[in-house]
Structure 1
Amino acid sequence: MGTKAVCLMTACALLAWYIHASFSDFEQPWKMFLIHSLTKTSMFVATAFEKMNIVGFWEFYDILLQGQMTAPISNENITVIDTTVNDILVRYYVPKKKSQELKKALIYFHGGGISLGNIALIHYDTFARWTADRLDAVFIAPDYRKIPEHHHPTQWNDAYEFLKFFLQPETLAKYGIDPTRIGILGDSTGAGMATALIQQLMGDPEIPIKPKIQILIYPALQMVDTDLPSYRENEYGIMLNKDLAIRIIRDFLTSDESLKQDLKANQHIPIEYKHLLKFVNWSTLLPERFKKGHVYTNRIYGSSDIIEKFPGIIDPKINPLLANDSTLSLLPLTYILTCQHDLLRDDGVMYVSRLRRNGVQVFHEHVEKGFHGAFLSIIWPYNLDISLRLIDNLIIWLNENL
């Protein structure tokens, strides 16, 4: 046997060992290795290009995603319509099935770190088509302006203005929607946005129609504590690691580089606001199986002027875990998906605890072999069996509850 053949066999054996050792907690470990490698490579290139002033970090991803955009093409089952509301793209998926009854509706806020893409991305578009067809429901997906050009509260304002427009009797009548059978959902940062929007609109007299249910797919619910057990365990996680999460938070709030280090060190809450930490105190809000020997340590507080410079750090509109109990008690039936190997896992689990303590009925699906992005890994080469199961589970739940 030649030297080259021996080297090739050795390399293959080492690769197989690495994949088994590193990805044994996931289904389809070879596919997970591919996903992790592509994600890490793109992040490395984006960072390098930014440092060389070739192209900005988020701009690089925008270029990559251009080839994954879809046109609003209707088919035999679904009519797809692109329109704008307040100069923001909204895509409607309307089933063609004839029915004497008014239709259910889902309003979907997509994820992507408040920075990437829109509903036209192929995985969002595919999910929307499947869901609209199988539920015989109108699926509505409004966009919002993105970071780094637009900071908070631009995105929240865009989304809330759309809800104020859409959740009116005359608008629902136009699409044949039953006002008593509307759900609001989102994934990742979109789920965080949906959470805060629902908290606001449930008590807003200007919006007469309220959602029947909310669906939160691995939601991003706070930036007050960046040292949760899930942050520690998934610091170098699949799809979403701590560096990327900190960057998203920083860019969401400001262009000021100084905030990044404070967030990384978890030293961005001044002592004057320590009373808010009870809302994200994982030592009391996480079930024992999620603590796994982690120790809750006393915080090192930030400088007194940090909130004056960056008030979004404690704004419930982007920290819905900071909402008070009276707000939470008004919320509708809730579906929350969390994944074990996800930086945002503990955000969702803590919200489950807080909602249940306030009398809200919650269906919590926790996926031990799941990771951030698992729900919509449905397009080659990112397509995974776990994603199809999770979507099936959600559609079954929606059929029973919406």
Structure 2
Amino acid sequence: MGRKVLLFLIVGVLGARYLYIPLPANTEQPWVIMCVETHLKIMSNLMLFAELLGISHYMTSTNFAASFLDTPPTSDENVSVVEATFHNIPVRVYVPKQKTNTLRRGIFYIHGGGYCLGSAGFYNFDHLSRRTAHRLDAVVISTNYRLAPKYHFPAQFEDVYNSLRWFLSEAVLQEYGVDPTRIGVCGDSSGGNSATAVVQQLQHDQDVKVKVKVQALIYPALQTVDFDLPSYRENAHSPILNRWLTLRFMSEYFTTDRSLEKAMTTNQHIPEHAAHLLQFANWSSLLPERFQKGHVYKKPTFGSSTLAKKYPGFLDVRAAPLLADDTQLRGLPQTYVLTCQHDVLRDDGVMYVTRLRNVGVPVTHDHIEDGFHGLISTGLKVGARMENQYINWLSENL
């Protein structure tokens, strides 16, 4: 009996240790977040084990598991939902059922998932698109794109950009009753990266006559040159998206060669000939003091040029839009940026806010002090606040 009790206690302690995650004191619904993180941790470890055994690539099996959270394109009492293709790219279209005699606002939405996971039908992206369409009486186009590890940059960017160009054509806007002067491009996480990049490219595309009025970026990933920002240091082990997973996503965007991930982990992936790009992500000059919190800036150690030659995409502004120079940023549309305090990607968004303001672009920055990455439209209280702030801004500015 004594051995059984001891074994029970050991298993209980190990189980509690696995479940318990230290969270900031201001965290709402901490046990819910712990449970979500525990589920994600178990799934991640299973996928890593499968990869170690040579059964399946980590991202391939993770995306397969995530696909069970996809929802069908089901219409409800407020919004009609259908699937279509824009330039051969699958999209999901949300149109309010309420009758109108005027043209509607248009939202082009790009989902997150590190360029490896997710779809427009993923339950929280679907929920956000429905809520946006209903509350704004807007047509929402939620685009898909090819995913890594099967496809790498620039496939994802090209899919999103071609889908957006298709949407902005006069015939398509007329088909869906969208006002060409009231269009916004939005995205979360890696989708925020794509939203930023396509809007930057769009303003120089002479073949597209319709320009977007606003862009809205939800905890966006914006740069690939420095993974030793204060937010990466402080949130290396944060729930939902930790530093290890972020760098795995980042490297998989460009290659399955794990040497790039290894170099990124030690912040030694930038070749010396790309040193001039560091100024665009130098947090010591671009972060407000409250985000620096006594951290000391350390310039990334220059690595071999071999990786940059093999995978030049990680230095491409279409993959790292924070690296755009000031000339490319001037003239961008009114911008909304939402960042979360407990998020490795926090400082990417904050630095972009600074750079846009420096060149005169009007920016609204909502910073969620008790927020974590990936929680918008998840049913948590903090996620509901994020959703409301995002939609309210669109309502007032689009």
Equivalent position of 1:125 in the other structure: 126
**SS state of the match for residue 179, structure 1?**
strand
Partners in 2 of 1:194 and 1:15 — Cα distance?
40
Please say if residues 90 and 141 of structure 1, whose CA atoms lie closer than 8 Å, have aligned partners that are also in contact.
yes
Partners in 1 of 2:350 and 2:83 — Cα distance?
35
1:50-61 paired onto structure 2 within 5 Å: 50-61=51-62
Comparing 268-277 with 177-186, greater Cα deviation is found at 268-277
**SS state of the match for residue 374, structure 1?**
coil
Structure 2 unaligned residues grouped into runs of 5+? none
Residue deviations 1:257-303 (CA, integer Å, cap 9, x gap): 22121111111111111111100000000000001111112332111
Divergent runs of 4+, >4 A:
18-21
Please say if residues 87 and 166 of structure 2, whose CA atoms lie closer than 8 Å, have aligned partners that are also in contact.
no
1:3-402 paired onto structure 2 within 5 Å: 22-378=23-379, 384-402=380-398
Shift of the 174–136 alpha-carbon distance from structure 1 to 2, 3 Å rule, reads same
Residue deviations 1:300-343 (CA, integer Å, cap 9, x gap): 21113332111112100011011111111111111100001001
Q: TM-score, normalised by structure 1?
A: 0.93
Total equivalences in the alignment: 396
Q: CA deviation at 1:55?
A: 2.5
**SS state of the match for residue 366, structure 1?**
strand
Q: Which amino acid aligns with 1:174?
A: E
Partners in 2 of 1:167 and 1:87 — Cα distance?
15
Shift of the 268–20 alpha-carbon distance from structure 1 to 2, 3 Å rule, reads closer
**SS state of the match for residue 253, structure 1?**
coil
Please say if residues 20 and 29 of structure 1, whose CA atoms lie closer than 8 Å, have aligned partners that are also in contact.
no
Equivalent position of 1:381 in the other structure: none
Structure 1 unaligned residues grouped into runs of 5+? 379-383
CA RMSD between the two structures: 2.4
Shift of the 245–172 alpha-carbon distance from structure 1 to 2, 3 Å rule, reads same
Please say if residues 223 and 320 of structure 2, whose CA atoms lie closer than 8 Å, have aligned partners that are also in contact.
yes
**SS state of the match for residue 337, structure 1?**
strand
Partners in 1 of 2:59 and 2:22 — Cα distance?
32
Residue deviations 1:336-374 (CA, integer Å, cap 9, x gap): 000010010000000000000010111000011101112
Please say if residues 110 and 142 of structure 2, whose CA atoms lie closer than 8 Å, have aligned partners that are also in contact.
yes
Q: CA deviation at 1:130?
A: 1.1
**SS state of the match for residue 105, structure 1?**
strand
Q: Which amino acid aligns with 2:337?
A: I
Q: CA deviation at 1:76?
A: 2.3
Q: Which amino acid aligns with 2:388?
A: D
Q: CA deviation at 1:21?
A: 5.0
**SS state of the match for residue 124, structure 2?**
helix
Residue deviations 1:32-81 (CA, integer Å, cap 9, x gap): 11112112111111111110122221222233223222111112221111
Q: Which amino acid aligns with 2:387?
A: I
Please say if residues 116 and 252 of structure 2, whose CA atoms lie closer than 8 Å, have aligned partners that are also in contact.
no
Q: CA deviation at 1:20?
A: 8.7
**SS state of the match for residue 65, structure 1?**
helix
Q: CA deviation at 1:85?
A: 2.5
Comparing 238-247 with 148-157, greater Cα deviation is found at 238-247
Partners in 2 of 1:63 and 1:305 — Cα distance?
33
Please say if residues 226 and 300 of structure 2, whose CA atoms lie closer than 8 Å, have aligned partners that are also in contact.
no
**SS state of the match for residue 63, structure 1?**
helix
Please say if residues 23 and 33 of structure 1, whose CA atoms lie closer than 8 Å, have aligned partners that are also in contact.
no
Q: CA deviation at 1:254?
A: 1.3
Q: CA deviation at 1:376?
A: 3.0
**SS state of the match for residue 141, structure 2?**
strand
